[in-house]
Amino acid sequence: MKFRNILTSLLLLAIVATTARADEGMWLLNLIGKNYQQMKAQGFRLKPEDVYSVNKSSLKDAVVVFGGYCTGEIVSNQGLIFTNHHCGYKSIQQHSTVTHDYLKDGFWAKSFDEEISTPGLYVSILQEIADVTDDVLKGVTDHNKEQIDANIERITAEYKKKYPSEFHRIEIKPFFEGNSYFLSAFVDYKDVRLVGTPPDAIGKFGGDTDNWMWPRHTCDFSVFRVYVDKNGNPAEYSSSNVPLKPKHHLPISLKGYKKGDFAMVMGFPGTTQRYSTSFEIYNDMLENDARAKIRGIRQDVLHADMEASDEIRIKYATKYSQSSNYWKNSIEANKSLKALNIVGEKQQQEKAFETWCRANAQRQNEYKDALAQIQKACDADRDNALVLLYINECFFSGMELLMHGYHIIDYVLDPAGQTKDDFIKEMHRFYKDYSRETDYKSSLAMAKLYMEDVKAEYHPSFLKEMSADSAVAYMFTSQFVTQEGFDKFIENPTRETLLTDPVISNFLAVLDVYRTLITASRTNDEMLDNGRRIYTKGVNEMNVGANPYPDANFTERLTYGTVQDYKPKDGVLMNYFTTTDGVLEKEIPGDYEFDVPAKLKTLLLNKDYGRYADKDGTLHACFLTDNDITGGNSGSPVIDGRGNLIGLAFDGNSEAMCGDWFFNTKLQRCINVDIRYVLFIIDKYGDCQRLIKELTFAK
C-alpha cells in the first residue's frame, strides 16, 4: 500500500509539473493578484491595479483587439497604434494598387490628413471583466446547453444597461471547458486609419522560409490611428472625427534588455488546447497533415500567378499570407509534437489521472468515464472530421467563387437587416481582389484533390455526375464570375434565377454533404464536450493549489517571464537577440523573401542607427522571451517591469510548435521585434519623424 501511494504521488508530480510556472500561463487580468508575488520576484515593479482596473487608468486601457484577430497597443495620447505588419496586412493590401503599391514600397503619412480611412477595420478596448459563473449555471442541470444559453442572454441584456452604446459589446465565454464563465465588456472603435507601414521586404523579411523560425530579422510592424467624434465617442468614419485621447498609452523604453530581464506580454491569444488528451492530439495531427497538403497545393497555384503579375500579386497578397501562415504552422506543429512525443506525455498524464481517480470512491464515481467518453468520441468522429476539413479547405477556402455564391444566396434569401447598398459594396470589394483565371486554376486543383483523397460517398453531387474538369468549367459559366453579371442580377434578384445558377447549385451540393456530416458528428461532439468538461474539472481538482490557467479563447490575458536564450539540440545555443547584421548576411538580391531595400542597406552598412543603437553598438532586430503566447497574440506589446514598451510579439519558434497542446519550458520562446528597430525604420528609413515626436519615452 505504501508503494502504491508513492507511485501515485510520483504520477501526480508528473502532471503538476506541466501546469503553471513563471514562464507558462495565460492569466486573466482581473485575477493577476494571485501571481503578483511571483511576478514581483522576477522584476515586476508595478501593482496589480496598474495592470487591470475598472475605475482608473491601467495597462489594459492601452491594449486593443486589432481587427478581431490580432492585438495592438496604443502608444501616444493621440490614439496611435502599433501592431504587426502581418496583422495590418489586409488593410495595407486593401489600399494598394499597381500605381500605389504600398506592399512593395511601404507607406508613411506625413500629416493627419494623409492618414487613410480603412473601411471594415475596427479596434476594441476592454472595459471590464467579470466572473459570471454562478449566474450562467444558475438553475442548470446536467450542463443543459439551452438553459446556459438562456442565462447568457439574460446576463448580457443586464450588462447592456451598464454599457448601452451601439459601440459597446458584451461577450460571455466558457473557461476550463465550461466549468467557469467570464464576461468581457468592450468598446469598439470603427474609424481606424492607416498611418504607416514598411515595405514587405522589411515587414515580411524572410517570408515563409523564416516564418516560425529563429534566428529572425523581420521588422514586423505597422502603424494605425483611432479616430472618434468631437465629443470623444466612438463613431463611424467622418472627416470631422479627431484622434482618440486614450485613458492610457504605453511609454517606450530605448534602454534595451539583457538575459533574465522581466518581460510580460498582454494581448488576446486565440486558441490553445492544453487540456487535450492523447486521443484528441492524435486526431489533430492527422488534420495538420491534411491541411498542410491541401494548402500547399493551392499556394503553388497562387504563387505562380502572383510571380507573373503585379496585379495578381496585390490582389492575392493577403489570401496567400493567411493561408501560408498556418500551412507552415501545421507542418512545424507536427514536427514538434512528434519530436517531443507529446502523445506519450499526455498518456502519462492520463495514467496519473486514472490512478488518482481509483484512489477515492467519490472521485472514481464522478470522473471515471471522462477519458473513455473522449476516446470514444475521437475514434467515432475521426473520419468525419477529416472529410469536414477537406470540405472547408478545398471548397470553402479553395474555391473563391463558390464562397462568393454563399454570400449571395445568404443575402437574397435572408438579408438579416443588411441594406442592399451595403451588400453591393461588400460584393464589389470581392471583385476588386478577384481573378477569374487564378480562381479557376485553384478550383480545379482543389476539385481533383478532393476526388482523389475523399471517398466517393462524400462527394457532392456535381463531382459524382461530372469529372473535376467538367464540374469546374460548368461552375465558371456562372453570371457571378464578373461584377457586371452580379450587378445585372442584383437589379432584380429572383429566387428562381439564383437557384439555377451553377455556382449556387454547386454550393448547395457541398452544403448537403457538409450538413450530413455535421449532423452525424453531433452526438460525438456532445460526448466529447461532456468528457472534456469532466476531465478538466478533475485535473484541476487533482492539482488543487496549483493556480491553473484556462485555455486561450481570445479573451485578454497576461503572460510573464524573462528574456531568454534556448538550446534546441545538443551543442547548439540560440542567442536571445539578433542584430541587423543578420539582415545583410541573409540578403539575396532580387529574391522576394530576402531582398533588402537599397535605402535600408545603405543605412545598415553606414551603421546609421541614430539613438536606436544598443549600448553594444549594434542595432538589435529581434529578441526572445519565454512568454506563453499563441495566435491572436500577434502585435501584442512586450512590456518591461515598469510598464514600458520594449517590443512587439509576432511569432513562436519551430522547435516548440506543440505549444498549443503542451508548454515545454526549455524550448518554448516568444519571438519579438525590438521596439528600437521599429522606431529606426519609422525615423531613419520612413523619414516620419512626426510619429516619433508623438511618443512618450521612459526616462
Across-strand partners of 28?
557
Distant-in-sequence, close-in-space partners of 606: CB < 8 Å, separation ≥ 6: none
Angle between helices 502-542 and 468-475 (to 10 degrees): 110
DSSP state of 115: P
Q: What's the chain's length in residues?
A: 699
Distant-in-sequence, close-in-space partners of 40: CB < 8 Å, separation ≥ 6: none
Q: 279: which 3 cell numbers?
A: 486521443
Q: 465: which 3 cell numbers?
A: 455526375
Q: Is 12 helix (H, G, I), strand (E, B) or coil?
A: helix
C-alpha 539 chain-centroid distance: 27
Does the N-terminal peptide bond of residue 198 adopt cis geometry, omega within 30 degrees of 0? no
Compute φ and ψ for 245, nearest 5 degrees.
-100, 100
CB-based burial label for 632 (10 Å; 0-12, 13-18, 19+): buried
Across-strand partners of 246?
none
Q: How many beta carbons lie within 10 A of that of residue 245, not counting itself?
A: 12
d(CA 73, CA 224): 10
Compute φ and ψ for 74, nearest 5 degrees.
-85, 130
Whether the Cβ atoms of residue 305 and residue 441 lie closer than 8 Å to each other: yes
**For residue 404, which of 471, 312, 296, 478 has the smallest C-alpha distance?**
478
CA distances from 248 to 62, 73, 122, 184, 458 (A): 5, 10, 19, 19, 54
Angle between helices 436-453 and 278-308 (to 10 degrees): 150
d(CA 262, CA 39): 8
Q: Is 645 helix (H, G, I), strand (E, B) or coil?
A: strand
Interior angle at CA 661, CA 655 and CA 664, nearest 5? 45
Q: Which residues are catalytic?
A: 86, 220, 634
H helical segments located in 220-309: 278-308
Whether the Cβ atoms of residue 49 and residue 58 lie closer than 8 Å to each other: yes
CA distances from 564 to 289, 521, 661 (A): 31, 44, 22
d(CA 386, CA 394): 12
Q: Is 168 helix (H, G, I), strand (E, B) or coil?
A: strand
Q: Is beta strand 557-562 parallel, antiparallel or unpaired with respect to 27-28? A: antiparallel
Q: Is 386 helix (H, G, I), strand (E, B) or coil?
A: helix
Angular region, 214: left φ>0, alpha ψ -120 to 50, beta rest? beta
Whether the Cβ atoms of residue 697 and residue 252 lie closer than 8 Å to each other: yes
d(CA 187, CA 207): 34
**For residue 450, which of 501, 513, 508 has the smallest C-alpha distance?**
513
d(CA 115, CA 619): 29
Distant-in-sequence, close-in-space partners of 247: CB < 8 Å, separation ≥ 6: 57, 58, 61, 62
Across-strand partners of 697?
252
